[in-house]
Structure 1
């Protein structure tokens, strides 16, 4: 949208931020799947809504010259937010409740590795077929992708929940469930860590492809291929953490150490991208993006492993609402990070008159936030001197 249609980077960033804002109700969806006894309908229904939203988003992209193009995009991204929230929260809750506690970190790693493989395959196929770019080609490719994703998701989830025996537990109401989470020191600190780290993680998401197009002259297909390289690096980081954790340790301290290392590595890679902005087009961009992906992968799989353990620590029947709270924190952070990153580039280009300097400033700020996240990760299990009074959550 930025390069092909000449739009400001803040427009797609605002749409993505909106779809994350819709996901602020993840905790309620998670609690609903806790109370309903079955999570499969939430997963399949969410995937159907997500697929419809993705297809309409592609159509809206081709309508940007029309008055109703942005309106259709808003509807599409609302559907995407609803679908991701319903399906994603319920899937993670099913994973946390159906897998034995000692295997939850490994299960989370495998799930995320499979997700990254899906990203890599999809972006590679789309990138290869998107050039030469045309609106019709874009809609056709996206339609094929969303249809395939829905069929694969339904086939993958079929029969899984029938094999899991239901657990008879007393489930608290929504307000009481939120109070329980707030009373848990580790869960509360982890929520703050998720929010801060995801701001740093997401701020580069919407500007990396425009960065490659504006400063390195990449075509749309080449920019999409750059995302595939980043996901390949992330896959490598996830595999390293998964294998190392299996061979040498699985405790909370081990996963926390990998989380901190991933945050610091991501900060270093973002500093390198900032230097790439002032050295373009002579900087080795592709290797730098692979390194960023590797560090992101280390951070992500370690953080998700910790998340799965903490979700199960709340007791049976609480996994959904806990995953929902952390999912909502992640969604808010993604909305803030993605939007601020894109607006920061637009504002920096306007104020400084220099595209390289604008990207340098934004990448440096992201690196600083990752360093703060590393400090927060180190303090998740720190002793608490005094407990703050519990807030009163009310229904509605």
Structure 2
């Protein structure tokens, strides 16, 4: 017995809950530290980098899923830790005005919990999707769950932004606490009895984690795709920690307005994902290789325009450009996810979780490195030039990396090697 589409939708609710908490810690709290508390951008960059660094445990979570055992407990337990980490991170931000040392200590602990929670819950969820969905459902399942996650991110950012103005510490704690508790409750309800009746094959428990990883790394396509994920995700996440401060410092956005801007960006991501899904499933247009390249090159173009807007009296508006960036990010993301789900089932069987964990770890390293690099680069540039050019240079660097990722996708995926039809839920 495999997962039904109703059960896949329920797993999508878990992804939506996960995204709802993470967007608060990587966008809203980051902006408050940099703008309201005038802390260096490297500080939230370091904290977010910590939570991504902890996610190096993702391959082990995936391997644990491959060697058997129920995954529901890891998904719910991980979400519980993520919720606690989100509330702790918000509390840490409110304490910076009273005690920098106490706030930093609490923030370090909170972001470490966030990393463990995302790693345990997210990887176990992906392993369940990869192993419990029928082969013809995998790509469709990936698209459904990721669209729901982006919807959760966009909805949370929009609602949180509307409730945060006028900003106060008590208002922040109330908004974050409600979202985190709601996400945990949704996860418990969504996962109830979902594994009952599933017949899942598992790797022998006697195999060590090192041996399992060694076997997977020997697979040429898995290894090359891991490198591609690392490069492309560096570009994808480099603007994550600096876009809201950019909106606040250069364009005078309030905390609520910049949080809403993040919501609009993720709304663009949602539309980009829908575009590829409809074009691929409804009209059989293009290969995944083509869609990945379009997403990368379009994202690079939007970043150059965003940088230009902050440097000159350009007629371009920041909001539509950010939505455009989100749109092309979504085109890239859903194409890359489709390729990932298709490749996860290649090679030796019963290793889907390990491969997803490996790619998840590569993404986490790239996201942490890219986010921290962007934040540190902005701090360095702001020390020697005006804010507009400082941010502009970093956005331009991100655009260059996106172009390099497009070139790498063209070489690794090969013309037509992975068809867009892999997104179609059909034999």
Scaled to the shorter chain, the TM-score interval is over 0.9
Moved more, 306-315 or 6-15: 306-315
CA contact (8 A) 2:233 2:366 kept: yes
How far apart are residue 103 of structure 1 and its match?
2.2
- When normalised by structure 2's length, the TM-score is 0.86
Corresponding residue for residue 15 of structure 2: none
Q: In the aligned structure 2, how far is the partner of 1:330 from the partner of 1:134?
A: 34
- Partner secondary structure for residue 287 of structure 2: helix
Aligned length: 380
CA contact (8 A) 1:54 1:76 kept: yes
Asked if 1:361 is matched to 2:401, the reply is no
How far apart are residue 267 of structure 1 and its match?
0.8
Corresponding residue for residue 84 of structure 2: 52
How far apart are residue 280 of structure 1 and its match?
5.8
CA contact (8 A) 1:203 1:334 kept: yes
Corresponding residue for residue 391 of structure 1: none
Corresponding residue for residue 187 of structure 1: 222
* Runs of 5+ consecutive residues of structure 2 not aligned to the other structure: 1-32, 416-427
Q: In the aligned structure 2, how far is the partner of 1:72 from the partner of 1:280?
A: 42
Q: How does 1:73-222 map to 2 (within 5 A)?
A: 73-167=107-201, 169-170=203-204, 172-222=207-257
How far apart are residue 282 of structure 1 and its match?
5.8
Q: In the aligned structure 1, how far is the partner of 2:279 from the partner of 2:324?
A: 19
2:358 maps to which of 297, 322, 325: 325
Asked if 1:277 is matched to 2:315, the reply is no
1:305 maps to which of 338, 346, 351: 338
Give the RMSD, CA atoms, in angstroms.
1.6
How far apart are residue 260 of structure 1 and its match?
1.4
CA contact (8 A) 1:17 1:339 kept: yes
1:17 maps to which of 39, 45, 49: 49
Q: In the aligned structure 1, how far is the partner of 2:94 from the partner of 2:231?
A: 34
Corresponding residue for residue 406 of structure 2: 374
Corresponding residue for residue 62 of structure 2: 30
Q: In the aligned structure 2, how far is the partner of 1:168 from the partner of 1:118?
A: 32
Asked if 1:262 is matched to 2:295, the reply is yes
How far apart are residue 283 of structure 1 and its match?
3.7
How far apart are residue 358 of structure 1 and its match?
0.6
Deviations 1:327-349 (A, max 9, x none): 11001001110000011111011
Asked if 1:344 is matched to 2:374, the reply is no
CA contact (8 A) 1:233 1:297 kept: yes
Q: In the aligned structure 1, how far is the partner of 2:314 from the partner of 2:413?
A: 44
- When normalised by structure 1's length, the TM-score is 0.93
Asked if 1:230 is matched to 2:278, the reply is no
Q: 1:215 to 1:164 in 2, by over 3 A?
A: same
CA contact (8 A) 1:186 1:381 kept: no
CA contact (8 A) 1:215 1:280 kept: no
CA contact (8 A) 1:215 1:281 kept: no
CA contact (8 A) 2:67 2:204 kept: no
Moved more, 373-382 or 237-246: 373-382
Asked if 1:6 is matched to 2:38, the reply is yes
Q: In the aligned structure 1, how far is the partner of 2:253 from the partner of 2:351?
A: 47
